[in-house]
Chain A
């Protein structure tokens, strides 16, 4: 399952090997508006994906306010009529209505719910959830824990095999809205502000990746990017994960350049096809690792901007993150190989 954030890359990401794509509509998904598609683009994307016989999921995975629930259901109804195959949600209050109105829709529970034990999965199954996205931090427990969770009956498991990791558990981090929040509602009552809560489609200020100082008993104990954790790299256990029968392997990246997402998906697909061919498998792993380094470099630039820039940051960020990466970087990446 691969992310889409740009209509022009839909075919490319399918060519790279994605079987399912997922994306959000501006204002209705977890990512801020700048990383999501316009409604009319998403409708076009549905047509493109369906014409190629693949699946498309709508990400509605932010937490809504009470007065937004009805509108969220209207949005799902509209996209359901156009042919989406599933929807990814975080808000438990949506489940009952979705199951009642759209029983055919595949209902996935977002990583934001941090479902991490078997009883959690049983609870969500009892609500009507078809598949649960496991939290990215589960890498601490790795395959053994995922194995236990995959034994819960009648509920699928979806895992991120590539993406960022955060020091706080998914959906349990309120650092960004503590730092800066300016709630603004549009004429329909929807909170559309990029400066809202990161759980409610506001911008994540990546506080957990910034420079900070740790004071203990009045003195500085350590300094640096203390809250930062490395990237999520579960792909190293790909063979075991496949043998566990995981329903969906997912790549994070609606906020990344489509170029990177496409390359990553292509590498992972190659790895999946060459699980028994060690030579080809290892070659693809090294290619993937250099892509991850490239992604980290872009993220460092992103962090630099966040730490140094002023209120004009949104325009700059869009420039950096929504366009395909520049020619120099593609060249560097090719030379590196």
Chain B
């Protein structure tokens, strides 16, 4: 994808969320939660809902990708294989994979199904990306810790679609157990949906969001100020991470970024301030630039202009 074409995508985890979200700003949607198989009505785990969801997104003329479980043990492999089967059968445009065992299953059992590799697969170098290209991978998401220059090198040298995060919370870790359930003091094995509530973890100089097994950055990564630079470096596949956010967040943030990208592509006088104002309402902890400028993930730096 070159010139003024681009793809803006986000993720939706359940059918109910999909029906309640205005996805008109997006070109593609990732369906399903990669991080917890127990998440209620998770589209990756529910064949019937997944079919319906794929149809809804396709009817709106958008691409649809299906996320698979990120850290499967042997006991999870059958479930993951079923997700791949459902994605292939229901006409998904690609699957998102974070685990190399799942990649092996996908390439062997469903060779026609395009594969996107997620950020938890730890792609740090062009050499790894080229290896994955040999295995038939279509798109990669470099590790969050890569700076913009390193991501640009991946984008330019590997010959693969490189997706970058534009806005939202970064995944900073994934655990073997559900932490919110552990801290809830309720001794029950069943999922109580604590991760759908507003959870924060605060330590000295650090605020984190915790949702069950996933630890997210407290601050929202925001690149609205740096969009011209990101576009100049040749990126055209963009993700808005709306993990466990309100559906209003997904719709509004998507809309703001779509308008901003179009303005940055078409006009030399790009002004981010009006967009930043709209984004601030959705980020109570504040913004960061992630690792894009080879600084601490929670830092925010302003553009040089």
CA distance A18 to B113 in the complex (A): 48
Question: Cβ of A213 and Cβ of B201 under 8 Å apart?
Answer: yes
Query: From A119, which residue of chain B is reached at the shortest CB distance?
Result: B101
**Closest-CB distance, B288 to chain A (whole angstroms):** 8
Given contacts A172-B173, A216-B198, contact A114 B204 (CB under 8 A): no
CA distance A51 to B138 in the complex (A): 50
Q: Which residues of B contact A216 (CB under 8 A)?
A: 180, 184, 194, 197-199
Question: Cβ of B124 and Cβ of A63 under 8 Å apart?
Answer: yes
Pick from A123, A172, A227: contact of B174, CB below 8 A.
A172
B177 at the interface (CB under 8 A from A): yes
Question: Cβ of B199 and Cβ of A215 under 8 Å apart?
Answer: yes
Query: From A195, which residue of chain B is reached at the shortest CB distance?
Result: B296
Question: Cβ of A214 and Cβ of B177 under 8 Å apart?
Answer: no
Query: From A308, which residue of chain B is reached at the shortest CB distance?
Result: B204
B71 at the interface (CB under 8 A from A): yes
**Chain A 155-187 interface 0/1 with B at a Cβ cutoff of 8 Å (1 = within):** 000000000000111011111011111110000
Give the interface size class of chain A: 35 or more
A93 at the interface (CB under 8 A from B): yes
Query: From A147, which residue of chain B is reached at the shortest CB distance?
Result: B74
Q: Of A5-13, A38-46, A218-226, which stretch is located at the interface?
A: A218-226
**Closest-CB distance, A166 to chain B (whole angstroms):** 9
Question: Cβ of A207 and Cβ of B203 under 8 Å apart?
Answer: yes
B122 at the interface (CB under 8 A from A): yes
Question: Cβ of B297 and Cβ of A181 under 8 Å apart?
Answer: yes
B76 at the interface (CB under 8 A from A): yes
Question: Cβ of A66 and Cβ of B125 under 8 Å apart?
Answer: yes
Q: Of A137-145, A235-243, A264-272, which stretch is located at the interface?
A: A137-145
Which interface residue of A91, A211, A221 has the most chain B CB atoms within 10 A?
Answer: A221
Question: Cβ of A214 and Cβ of B201 under 8 Å apart?
Answer: yes
**Closest-CB distance, A267 to chain B (whole angstroms):** 27
A313 at the interface (CB under 8 A from B): no
What is the size, in residues, of chain B's interface with A at 8 Å between Cβ atoms?
A: 65
A212 at the interface (CB under 8 A from B): yes
**Chain B 155-193 interface 0/1 with A at a Cβ cutoff of 8 Å (1 = within):** 001000000000000111111110110011100000000
Question: Cβ of A63 and Cβ of B122 under 8 Å apart?
Answer: yes
Question: Cβ of A215 and Cβ of B200 under 8 Å apart?
Answer: yes
Question: Cβ of A69 and Cβ of B173 under 8 Å apart?
Answer: no
B128 at the interface (CB under 8 A from A): yes
A130 at the interface (CB under 8 A from B): no
Question: Cβ of A145 and Cβ of B197 under 8 Å apart?
Answer: no
Q: Of B6-14, B43-51, B60-68, B143-151, which stretch is located at the interface?
A: B143-151
Question: Cβ of B175 and Cβ of A169 under 8 Å apart?
Answer: yes
B102 at the interface (CB under 8 A from A): yes
Given contacts A91-B125, A93-B130, A137-B176, contact A226 B76 (CB under 8 A): no
Q: Which residues of B contact A94 (CB under 8 A)?
A: 127
**Chain A 127-153 interface 0/1 with B at a Cβ cutoff of 8 Å (1 = within):** 100000000010011000100110000
Q: Which residues of B contact A212 (CB under 8 A)?
A: 201-203
Question: Cβ of B101 and Cβ of A123 under 8 Å apart?
Answer: yes
Given contacts A66-B126, A94-B127, A179-B206, contact A168 B145 (CB under 8 A): no
Pick from A113, A118, A215: contact of B122, CB below 8 A.
A113
Question: Cβ of B100 and Cβ of A93 under 8 Å apart?
Answer: no
Query: From A227, which residue of chain B is reached at the shortest CB distance?
Result: B179
Question: Cβ of A116 and Cβ of B71 under 8 Å apart?
Answer: yes
Which interface residue of B103, B124, B172, B179 has the most chain A CB atoms within 10 A?
Answer: B124
B294 at the interface (CB under 8 A from A): yes
Pick from A63, A96, A113, A214: contact of B199, CB below 8 A.
A214
Question: Cβ of B172 and Cβ of A175 under 8 Å apart?
Answer: yes
**Chain A 88-124 interface 0/1 with B at a Cβ cutoff of 8 Å (1 = within):** 0011111111000000000000001111111111111
B291 at the interface (CB under 8 A from A): yes
B2 at the interface (CB under 8 A from A): no
A210 at the interface (CB under 8 A from B): yes
CA distance A96 to B223 in the complex (A): 36
**Chain B 113-126 interface 0/1 with A at a Cβ cutoff of 8 Å (1 = within):** 00000001010111
B99 at the interface (CB under 8 A from A): yes
Question: Cβ of B298 and Cβ of A179 under 8 Å apart?
Answer: yes
Given contacts A117-B72, A119-B105, contact A140 B177 (CB under 8 A): yes
Query: From B290, which residue of chain A is reached at the shortest CB distance?
Result: A178
Question: Cβ of B215 and Cβ of A171 under 8 Å apart?
Answer: no
Q: Which residues of B contact A222 (CB under 8 A)?
A: 183, 185
Q: Which residues of B contact A65 (CB under 8 A)?
A: 124-125, 150
Question: Cβ of A174 and Cβ of B172 under 8 Å apart?
Answer: yes
**Chain B 281-295 interface 0/1 with A at a Cβ cutoff of 8 Å (1 = within):** 000000000010011
Pick from A168, A217, A307: contact of B198, CB below 8 A.
A217
Given contacts A177-B291, A215-B202, contact A117 B76 (CB under 8 A): yes
**21 examples of A-B residue contacts, CB within 8 angstroms:** A91-B124, A116-B71, A117-B72, A117-B101, A118-B77, A168-B175, A169-B71, A171-B122, A172-B71, A172-B174, A174-B171, A178-B170, A178-B206, A178-B298, A179-B206, A210-B204, A211-B203, A215-B200, A215-B202, A216-B194, A221-B184
In order of increasing CB-CB distance, the 9 nearest A-B pairs are A93-B127, A119-B101, A168-B173, A178-B297, A120-B101, A212-B203, A93-B128, A215-B200, A63-B124
Name B residues whose Cβ lies closer than 8 Å to a Cβ of A.
Answer: 71-74, 76-77, 99-105, 120, 122, 124-131, 143-145, 147, 150, 153-154, 157, 170-177, 179-180, 183-185, 194, 197-206, 208, 210, 215, 217, 291, 294-298
Beyond A123-B104, A215-B198, list 20 extra A-B contacts (CB 8 Å): A69-B127, A92-B128, A93-B127, A116-B73, A118-B77, A137-B176, A169-B173, A169-B176, A173-B172, A178-B296, A181-B291, A182-B296, A199-B122, A211-B203, A213-B201, A214-B183, A222-B183, A222-B185, A226-B183, A226-B201
